[in-house]
Amino acid sequence: MSNTLTKYNSINLDSRISDGFLFWCSRTPSAIALNVDGKDYTYQEVFAKSLQIYSEIKQINEGFIGLQCVYEIETYAAILAISYIGSAYLPLNIKLPKEKIIGIVNDANITTVLCFNKDFDFIKDSTTAKIIYSGRNEKAGNIVLECKDNSELAYILYTSGSTGNPKGVPVSRKNINTFFKYYLNEYDFNSNDRFLQPYEVSFDVSVFSIFCAWNVGAAVYVVPDSKSKHIEIIKVIDEHKITVSSFVPGVLNLIEKYLDEFSFPFLRYSFFSGDSLNNSLAKKWKKCLPIGVIHNFYGPTETTIVCTRYIWNEEDSDIESRNNIVPIGKPFPLINFVVISDEEKIISEVDIEGELCLEGLQVIDSYLNKSNEENFIKLNSIRYYKTGDRVSMNARGNLVFHGRLDSQVKIHGYRIELAEVENAINKSCGKINKVIVESKNGLNYLVAVVQSDIKLDLQTQLESLIPSYMIPASFIFIKQLPLGINGKIDIKQLKEIAKLTI
């Protein structure tokens, strides 16, 4: 049977995330499944490594297991092995502060952490978790794979905590398989595709990059860890002729001045999520994609990776973009939404802003330990997740993103939308920027951090674009806006830069 256009369509709501991989491993064992650290691994080779790890953990009967994340085959094989024993994985990123990792282990009450080196030894001193060190050089032998069911969960992720304390987000098999079913029905992914995997495994979009590929027998290409990861992303796309890419819009910010030099005639789908997509940058990126289409997605971790989609095209997006930000589009078929006012009344009118609330098979039932119940609301007897994001619905039925609820601030009594100020700066100088709020002597003021090699006189230019009360009190010019672990603009770092500069 030819596998060129065949999909793995046997996904049920209770399927393990490893089932698609096992399906293709049995049919195309010699096909490339993974490229990591510059080396190709076939489906059979990844399976052999996962079987070795399975042999080390198969007696564990826990609902979920902590997993040390490394940029090697072991991490990917371990996710499969944890799935074989019917458990969920909770990725622990060594780049996080030790205190934060310890906090996650204790909050989740993890009893077992699977490790590949001694970097996590500090866990033993501050938690009750048992560490299993996976032996890299041992062979699994004649191990018989016996898949179990220890948990209804697929994985657990902790939010970044940028708006408060990190929260454990338990994603069930029902949640993730609803997500997979949407993509496998909506897109013509096939076994000849080559998927880009630029994300930390602790970032939920990595699940798309890995398992949508393995559900169609395709190959996953992991971007090497690097301080210049945006450059590595472009290298991998070019060298491996990536056909399906997904990365955060912040990458375009960093490579903007090079975009005229790129062309990727083999890239079919270019997906963006995790942050706002700048319409001007999307235009420049589209010129690099002779056949590629740009799709902008939106979705909090609580709604399983992403849950709305907007297909970008220059003509419509020029009209629909607000403050140069591309719309987030319409919800997936099994996602329902409402927009509510500050008084928690449902808004039905077009172009009226409110908080986006979501419900459906992709939305988690609750946080780990049943915490933060205030993030959920019951409307007309239906339980919704409150995203904390401000949106409106335009005349075409697309959702338009206006930022976080707390991104609309009061300065000297005036209510100001930070995205509007950022768009004005972009119009005046063509530079990507981020506006933050600082306080001094009890008063709030705006600080604009602009990505520019040279200082610019923006004060006069902005006077013709926005009211004087919206013009930042201070401008900081830096070579590159800092990105966090997940590739989003790091607001905490920007605030530190502002404090040191002002």
Provide the token pair at 24. Answer: 């293709």
pLDDT at res. 431 = 86
Place of tokens 């030099």: 261
Length of the chain: 502
* CA-closest candidate to residue 419, choices 311, 326, 306: 326
The letter for the amino acid at 330 is K
pLDDT at res. 162 = 47
Kindly give the interhelix angle for 43-57 and 73-84, rounded to the nearest 10 degrees.
Answer: 60
Name residue 365's beta-bridge partners.
none
Q: What are phi and psi of 310, to 5 degrees?
A: -130, 125
pLDDT at res. 2 = 36
CA distance 57 to 65: 10
From residue 155, give the alpha-carbon distance in Å to each of 89, 152, 373. 5, 9, 20
pLDDT tens per residue across span 56-80: 999 998 889 999 999 999 999 999 9
| Mean pLDDT calculated for residue range 445-472 | 88
Provide the token pair at 145. Answer: 């794979």
Burial of 337 (0-12, 13-18, 19+ CB in 10 A): buried
CA distance 26 to 320: 47
Kindly give the interhelix angle for 43-57 and 19-27, rounded to the nearest 10 degrees.
Answer: 130
| Long-range CB contact pairs, 335-340, < 8 A, 24+ | 335/303, 335/307, 335/308, 335/359, 335/360, 335/362, 335/363, 336/360, 336/382, 337/399, 338/379, 338/384, 339/391, 339/392, 339/393, 340/377, 340/379, 340/386
Place of tokens 């007696």: 59
Class of domain 412-501: alpha beta
- What are the domain boundaries of the chain? 12-22+43-151, 412-501
CA distance 310 to 490: 25
pLDDT tens per residue across span 357-380: 999 999 999 999 888 899 999 999
The pTM score is: 0.87
* Whether residue 5 has pLDDT greater than 80: no
| Mean pLDDT calculated for residue range 267-274 | 97
- 12-22+43-151: which CATH topology? Rossmann fold (3.40.50)
CA distance 293 to 454: 34
Burial of 97 (0-12, 13-18, 19+ CB in 10 A): exposed
| Proportion of the chain in helix, strand, coil states, percent, rounded to 5 | 30, 30, 40
pLDDT tens per residue across span 105-144: 999 999 999 999 998 899 988 888 999 998 765 666 677 7
